[in-house]
Amino acid sequence: MNLVKRQWEGFWTGTRAAASGGVATLIDMPLNSLPPTTTVENLLTKARAADGQCWVDVGFHGGLIPNNTQHLKPLVEAGVRSFKGFLIESGIDEFPAIGPHDIELALHALAGSPTTVMFHAEMVPPNMTLIGSGAPYTGPFTSYQTYLDSRPRTLETYAISQILSKAHNAPDLDLHIVHLSAAESIPLLREARDRGVRITAETCFHYLSLAAEEVPEGDTRYKSAPPAREFANQALLWDELSRESGEGVIKTVVSDHSPCTPDLKLIPESLPVAPHSHAGEDGDFFKAWGGVSSLGLGLSILWTGAEAHGASIEDIVRWTSTNTARQVGLEQEKGDLGVGFDGDVVVFDDEAFLEVNKDTMFFRNEVTPFDERTLKGVVEETWLRGRKIFDRKTGFDEEQWPVGRTVLEPRKRTAVKMI
């Protein structure tokens, strides 16, 4: 959520988008805002900006960057749900990449803490030169294949190997790989879990629904990092998700919502995109903003693909509710229905169809590869703590001030694991 530039996503629009998709709690990323969530002071600045702006409950990831080790424990005590660090440049100057030594320092600093340390797992091996950094180009920059070749699977597997090599520094700490794309990473994680390493992974709606073979020339709306890979890779991600409860290493499916203003996507005029996408740029996958916007569409995206992959509604509940709550230490209030829980409910019509367009997208900048697609399954209502906050027919009650709260209670240690 951006605190400075009003044309970017904010708490008001982001939480409305979440509510429209049945999401009652979202966790805010530590970057793509000024200031980044790398100190307690910055966390409190962001929390103040969120006050009175949230249609759903909002928690916060803390940021893991070089030289902020001394801030990690205080951030836990101030209420961050977990930490995120990049092993490759994030594209944000204020949020530089970490290396193996930084990982070691962070794990030492957080050992014994009730938190989860999460990693964007792409890292350039020492014997590799990336396309665009001296290596020969494989094709035009408007080709998705050229971009895909620039982010090979080895970036993910090498990064994960480096993380696992440091895991012994905090054997009781939960580790997590965010937005896993390359299926080749799965055996590494399974072997580590068999050795007792406390590590899990997530994948994203776009990795389970978009494939490299279908990306039109220059359609930079598809750009993310890591990239969406081929259909065969996508099938392997679904296979891992569909393993018996508790057996798979991919435990959650999330949006990794990464919006930007339309001009930063550099969409070429030749594409038949909707007028609100602001086409007319050059379609350069290397210069365009990296990130897919899908907040509010996730349940429909998953249900659209579920039948072909043998997934049930119960599976989707586990991936997007039960386990996501456990991942960030909210399993006593969120992710289930029962005595003492918050009473967060989504009413989902699994037979209806959602036409994705400017009337069904609620995030601020309606730039997404899902635009003009037809998805199966529609969120009809969303309830937060027993109170309806969204209705598909009537929308939001504009006379009702947003009832979402910021979640800043310090996380407690628990023995509950993701299933």
pLDDT per 10-residue tile (average), the chain, 419 residues: 66 96 97 93 97 97 98 98 97 95 98 98 85 65 94 96 98 98 98 97 99 96 98 98 89 94 86 57 89 96 95 96 97 95 98 96 92 97 96 90 94 85
pLDDT at 64: 99
pLDDT at 52: 94
Q: Which uninterrupted H or E stretch holds 240?
A: helix 231-241
Check if the beta carbon of residue 174 is closer than 8 Å to that of residue 313. no
Beta strands in 220-362 (DSSP E): 250-254, 345-355
Kindly list the distances between the CA atom of residue 159 and the CA atoms of 17, 203, 408, in Å, as whole numbers in the listed order: 32, 16, 31
Residue 389 tokens read as: 């906050």
Q: Residue 338, Cβ neighbours under 10 Å: how many?
A: 6
Residue 167: CA count within 13 A, CB half-sphere? 26
Fold of 11-391: TIM Barrel (3.20.20)
Q: Residue 237, Cβ neighbours under 10 Å: how many?
A: 23
Distance from CA of residue 352 to its chain's centroid?
Answer: 26
State phi, psi for 390 to the nearest 5 degrees: -150, 140
Question: Of 357, 358, 255, which is closest to residue 302 (Cα–Cα)?
Answer: 255
pLDDT at 269: 80
Q: Which uninterrupted H or E stretch holds 101?
A: helix 100-110
* Alpha-carbon span 114 to 326, nearest angstrom: 12
pLDDT at 276: 53
* Alpha-carbon span 56 to 327, nearest angstrom: 18
pLDDT at 323: 97
Q: What is the dihedral of CA 338, 344, 349, 355, to 10 degrees?
A: -160
Question: Of 169, 196, 159, which is closest to residue 104 (Cα–Cα)?
Answer: 169
Kindly list the distances between the CA atom of residue 286 and the CA atoms of 310, 333, 403, in Å, as whole numbers in the listed order: 36, 42, 40
Kindly list the distances between the CA atom of residue 89 and the CA atoms of 37, 96, 120, 173, in Å, as whole numbers in the listed order: 17, 6, 10, 25
